[in-house]
Every structure is written in C-alpha cells, then in structure tokens.
Amino acid sequence: MSEIFRQIDNIYRTNGDLSYFGEGVSQIEHAWQCGQLAKTNSASLKLQLAAWLHDIGHLLSKEGETPTLKGHNDRHELVGSNFLKHLFPEAVFAPIALHVEAKRYLVATDSSYSEKLSSDSIRSLALQGGPLSIEECQNFLSKPFALDAIALRRWDDQAKDSECSLLSKEEVLSELNDLMVSCS
C-alpha cells in the first residue's frame, strides 16, 4: 500500500467510528454505504470512490462530530476535494467538491427531496447558503461532473441506514484500497 493510501486508510481506522452527526451510523458506515449504493447503481469506479470518500473532509478538518450544532460550516467538501485532487482524477474529486452545492440544487428544484432531508442536513443547509437561485442552478448544471455530484448526493442521503451491518473494518478498508488503486 502506498504511503498516501496508508494515510487515508489510517484516517478511517482512527476516526471512522466517530458518529455521523446523530444519524445513527458512524463515519465509516456512512462512507461504505454510500460507496455500496454507487456500486449497486453501476456507477463508474471513480464515482464509487468519490461516494466512498465524499465526507473525508469532516475527518480531516477535526471539527468534532457535529459542527453544525455550533453554527459552523466546516466546508468539508472543499477540505476533502483539495486533499484528494493531487491523488486522483477530476472524476473523483470534482463530485466531492460539488456534493454540497448538489444538495442546494436539489432543494431548489425537487420539493420531495427537501422533505426527506435529515435534521442535521436541514440545519447545515442554512449554513451552506440555502437553496440555489435559478441563476445559480443554471451555473451549477454547467459545471463538469454536476450530474455525478447529484447522483452522489442522492446516495449520500440514503447512506444513513443504522440497520445495515458493516462488513469487518478490515474487509471494508481492503475494498477501499482496491478502489483507490484502480482509480489512481
């Protein structure tokens, strides 16, 4: 395993058990479930990896478990994508960078989406700037990988199943390493 992959592996090994903001799953369970949803929806390997790593910024920014409760936006989508952009192609880091904007787009354009948002997602929406305006929606859709970011965002919102049992951490991290090798 390369040094940087070992570093990512270690981030999940060390901090993966942190809770995912009161959603009933841990960070590593949320990451793995999101990656699994991408896989079962026949996403490319790069998008599967983006789904897996989309919230790594929360673990890198060391803001604690629920920064939104303190009224703080940790900008985790940018922290994560900036960390990953030297390691993986744009098809991996761009959807990660856009996954918060994708939420703001979906809230603006799909009323049924807003109804299903979790309480933390609703709280963070205000901190993240609220729904996009019509012009901002058009601008968002013109960005490369915006559609991948929307797909990722929908899996993200589903990847909070506290009943879904995780494989062992070793198996899960082995899957992650295989994906990283495939996409690097």
The residues binding Fe ion (CB under 5 A) are: 55, 156
Please, what is the minimum distance in Å from the beta carbon of residue 79 to Fe ion? 10
Contact 52, 155 (CB under 8 A): no
Contact 55, 76 (CB under 8 A): yes
Please, what is the minimum distance in Å from the beta carbon of residue 2 to Fe ion? 25
Number of CB atoms found within 10 A of residue 13's CB: 14
Please, what is the minimum distance in Å from the beta carbon of residue 111 to Fe ion? 21
At a CB cut-off of 8 Å and minimum separation 6, what does 164 contact?
25, 29, 33
Of 128 and 177, the one with the shorter C-beta distance to Fe ion is 128
Q: Angle, nearest 10°, between helix axes 45-53 and 27-40?
A: 160
Of 74 and 88, the one with the shorter C-beta distance to Fe ion is 74
Of 31 and 180, the one with the shorter C-beta distance to Fe ion is 31
How far apart are alpha carbons 30 and 28 in whole angstroms?
Answer: 5
Of 130 and 181, the one with the shorter C-beta distance to Fe ion is 130
Please, what is the minimum distance in Å from the beta carbon of residue 33 to Fe ion? 10
